[in-house]
Amino acid sequence: MRIAEFLADRTGPSFSFELTPPERGTSISEVHEIVDLLMPYNPAFIDVTNHAADSWFEETGAGNYERHITRKRPGTLGLCAALKYRYDVETVPHLLCVGFTKEETEDALIELSFLGINNVVALRGDQTDWKQVRRGPRNSFATDLVEQIMDMNRGKYLHTMSNSEATDFCVGVAAYPEKHFEAPSLSYDIEMLKKKVDAGAEYVITQMFYDNAAFFAFLDKARAAGITVPIIPGLKVLTRKSLLTNIPRNFHVNIPDDLVGEIMAANGNAEVREIGRRYALAQARELLAAGAPGLHFFVYSDAPEAAAVLKELNL
């Protein structure tokens, strides 16, 4: 089922979660353990992250260097197919602009269509020195990527033939309640979000946040700007003190002072996890009471904490 159709037909709030492929050379069994733990809560869909190609240089002697191209965690498409048919659940791969050419993107979309996977999330991806990694035309922004997918939904491919088959992808995009760190203002960021929706995106998942007031302010501005598609808030349970620095550094998310103080005063990770679960549960209840269409948990390796919150919510 297309995610947009599910959201339109739902009779109550939904739950979804996001995970990342296992590291290169490791088993899919660790992913199965995560999904096994969360499937009893009937997720509407599972997002699987993607990782751009990257390059590194090896000194070979005499002042010469050899460039190597690699991807940190391959397997997004295969993992989506494996989970979809093992658990009978919709899976949603992330597609990136960064590190991929338009032709590689088209190839991936064709494979997904053959696999019966018709939901994707279109993202720009982290900015790195990626232009040196792949050669060929690329999408610069998520809006460009959405437009490419919409072209394929109209039967227009990069090398279109007269009888090209139209695809039927439902596209989700990301939003940032506290604004994207590169955006000059929240209003500007919402303008960019509207461009993605106008290009064809049918639903939105937000970056994780810990201040519901910031989300509600963002939501009001998005609706005032004419963005009418479902906007699903993203949550991440804090499970260890190191996340207090890792999350702001990697995701540019603010953590409220009272939550920081409580976690810093905690005695060990068990107490941190309890604080994190309690805080996420309060967030979730307030968001659902305000009419959020669902909750999207950034799980990664912290499935037990998300499961504990979902058990209390009894969705």
Tally of domains within the chain: 1
Residue 24 has pLDDT above 90, yes or no: no
What are the tens digits of pLDDT across the range 30-45? 999 999 999 999 999 9
Phi–psi pair at 18, nearest 5 degrees: -125, 135
Work out the average pLDDT over 214-224: 98
Provide the residue range defining the domain that includes 303. Answer: 3-313
The predicted pLDDT at position 205 comes to 98
Share of the chain above pLDDT 90, in %: 74
What's the angle, vertex CA 59, arms to CA 58 and CA 60, rounded to 5? 110
The predicted pLDDT at position 236 comes to 96
DSSP 8-class letter at 132: G
What are the tens digits of pLDDT across the range 45-68? 999 998 765 554 555 655 555 555
Cα-based distances in Å from 20 to 185, 192, 234: 30, 26, 15
List 137's β-bridge partners, or say none.
none
The predicted pLDDT at position 61 comes to 57
Phi–psi pair at 262, nearest 5 degrees: -65, -40
What are the tens digits of pLDDT across the range 112-171? 999 999 999 999 986 544 444 556 788 999 999 999 999 999 999 988 766 788 999 999
The predicted pLDDT at position 64 comes to 57
CATH of the domain at 119: 3.20.20.220
Nearest partner of 116 among 149, 92, 148, judged by Cα: 92
pLDDT band per the 50, 70, 90 thresholds, residue 254: very high
Q: In whole numbers, what is the pLDDT of the chain averaged over residues? A: 90
The predicted pLDDT at position 130 comes to 45
Cβ-proximal residues to 105 (8 Å cutoff; 6+ apart), any chain: 95, 139, 145, 148
Handedness of CA 30, 6, 206, 271 (dihedral sign): negative
Cβ atoms 256, 285 nearer than 8 A: no
Work out the average pLDDT over 246-258: 93
The label of the residue with tokens 């960064």 reads 98
Between 301 and 236, name the one with better pLDDT.
236
Amino acid at 203: Y
Q: Which two tokens stand for residue 176?
A: 């940032």
Work out the average pLDDT over 275-303: 95
The predicted pLDDT at position 302 comes to 85
